[in-house]
Structure 1
């Protein structure tokens, strides 16, 4: 079995490699060449932590495995560790033997950012110039770096529940040479692309905060009850997702479905746009929304890619398991 420690990931995995891996696996999902297993996600009753498993099998890429991990909200304050902790396990699909164990913390941040940037590539207007960020935590910085590579944005605007954290995304914008402006939520009407990356259980972005032609990537809702945007916004938009079953049960679509504003048939796989079986955006006035719930196959795709890189560079640790 091979081990790729967390400390090695930053020197192995690039944003482009993550983007390519996620785009490819979304396409495989839409072609029914890959599927995710049911998600297990539980409040464990200790340290206020959420813990769970996401897994799947990619027949096209012959990748089988799972990611184990979750969210420990007290880690940073108590231990100086990031709050999201995870590890990816890969198995040989021919024999079932364990093949690799890979540090999943940075990979999770990279694959989540890759998913929203894949949605921007395939759904945002070509002439998008202003990108809006809702959320300014650790993951938001990854989101913004990846998004800025998809269009020639000339302005970043941002809002956060805790305004003092906006400096995190302002720094990313400044490093990219793009001006930054803090706005209130109605100010998001200026944005051509909006990324929402919070862990909220009540909506912040409302339908009237969004202008025609905007593309929204909702990246924070991955649990029953979580919600970042008003359900009425999904009724105004053409809705895409990584996986329909997760979108309607634990993603943003759960609320619009519950309120009868949309039906399951109104939620489309982003992979179908990548494959060309769905036309994607149909006009410059259409609002498109990507409900990024986070699927196990994303984790397996980037972990498999990083294992190949680690072997190539002689970094992978081999153990007799």
Structure 2
């Protein structure tokens, strides 16, 4: 297939590009910089020059492809609502380019937006929050609208994606620890985050593209939940900093804007995804990568 990938020069997207090419697909990746374009060419991909918010350019690139994988998103904490609403527009534009065909569009979301029906790890069939509650859910709402219109849309929900260079949300915990000179977790630190190695996530995108069902939600979850206390201890070892428990009242002073998120228990299951797409994660776990981190924790 000829696959157009947004976010193709980003952390997850760059691995997806290489995975798709190794799987025999022809990839065109979006890049707004010369360095990004050079990286895509080295990987064996074609380059679509432009910005993800250039909706006309996106429609043209998507219209020339057999499939689209959308991973681009501005994850900066500032103005998350604006970034999320921009993503809603991007997904609508990509969907419009594929309207009336069976060509698939994979939309990227997160397991943290999902609400468990029974209090256990969130599953693929559990509903996502609304954008009124979590702005990032605008992406799933945009996917819902396209699915309702009959488009071949698949939602890929990511947990914390990691390798030894990047650890997703945990990178913010590392930054806070460096600034504070200590590593903290709240209470007993039993609250959890799910995780997956970036190579396993990239392989799942390829499998979803090749075997996925229209309208499906998949969870790229290798570990259902890693306790925040264990994460803090791994960070402390890597940074040679003391590790301690703090109270919920002390969390805002230590974590800042991250305080509420640092206290949530967010386990997620990928059992159905593994069965439906014959996906078996094999990469290192989150704690192993944290202990072997090359730059953020070293």
Q: Which has the higher strand share?
A: 1
Larger relative contact order (CA 8 Å, sep ≥ 6): 1
Q: Which has the higher helix share?
A: 2
Work out whether the TM-score is over 0.5.
no
**TM-score normalised over the length of structure 1:** 0.34
**TM-score normalised over the length of structure 2:** 0.36
